[in-house]
């Protein structure tokens, strides 16, 4: 087989790409929920939680928006088998990293949240890293043009 030829992507590629799109659509929903928190939503939180979620810095909100939008676009690019999926996932990962720096090092999130609530921010990071790797590997296999 020459470099110009490749085997077409299989079920695993399409499954991961579809799940990635659903995951990133859920991220958009989470973003919407975060930026539309009402005073009644905040009132239901403990004081410590309210301090984390109320009025986050604009750069954190922007990083969140960039992460979810570029993640969703990267997922669409995977489904369309476009090579630009990889740089979109890289930008998404950078947005996730910026968010994680804020949440883990600039707030008391770790002290306030229980172990289950700490899992999601870590999982988001792991999935973002995986999607960068998966898109790059798919490009190397010739599945992305």
Q: Is residue 105 part of a domain?
A: yes
The pLDDT confidence band at residue 114, using thresholds 50, 70 and 90, is: confident
Q: Is residue 136 part of a domain?
A: yes
Number of domains composing the chain:
1
DSSP codes of every residue in 68-88: HHHHHHHHHHHHTT-TTHHHH
Q: Is residue 40 part of a domain?
A: yes
The pLDDT confidence band at residue 50, using thresholds 50, 70 and 90, is: confident
* Residue span of the structural domain in which 40 resides: 11-140
Q: Is residue 6 part of a domain?
A: no
Mean of per-residue pLDDT scores for the chain: 91
Question: What does the pLDDT read at residue 1?
Answer: 43
Q: Is residue 98 part of a domain?
A: yes
The pLDDT confidence band at residue 39, using thresholds 50, 70 and 90, is: confident
- From residue 1, give the alpha-carbon distance in Å to each of 5, 26, 83, 91, 122: 6, 39, 21, 33, 40
Q: Is residue 4 part of a domain?
A: no
Q: Is residue 120 part of a domain?
A: yes
Q: Is residue 128 part of a domain?
A: yes
Q: How far apart are CA 28 and CA 126, in angstroms?
A: 18
Question: What does the pLDDT read at residue 118?
Answer: 86
> Alpha carbon 125 to chain centroid distance?
7
Contacts of 34 (CB under 8 A, 6+ apart): 53, 56, 61, 64
């Amino acid at each position: 087989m020459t470099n110009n030829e490749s085997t077409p992507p299989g079920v695993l590629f399409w499954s991961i790409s579809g799940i990635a799109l659903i995951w990133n659509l859920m991220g958009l929903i989470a973003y919407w929920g975060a930026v539309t928190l009402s005073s009644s939503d905040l009132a239901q939180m403990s004081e410590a939680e309210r301090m984390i979620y109320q009025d986050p810095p604009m750069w954190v909100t922007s990083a969140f928006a960039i992460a979810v939008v570029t993640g969703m676009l990267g997922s669409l690019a995977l489904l369309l088998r476009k090579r630009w999926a990889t740089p979109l996932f890289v930008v998404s990962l950078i947005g996730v990293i910026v968010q994680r720096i804020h949440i883990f090092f600039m707030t008391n999130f770790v002290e306030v949240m229980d172990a289950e609530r700490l899992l999601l921010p870590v999982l988001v990071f792991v999935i973002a890293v995986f999607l960068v790797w998966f898109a790059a590997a798919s490009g190397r296999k010739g599945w992305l043009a």
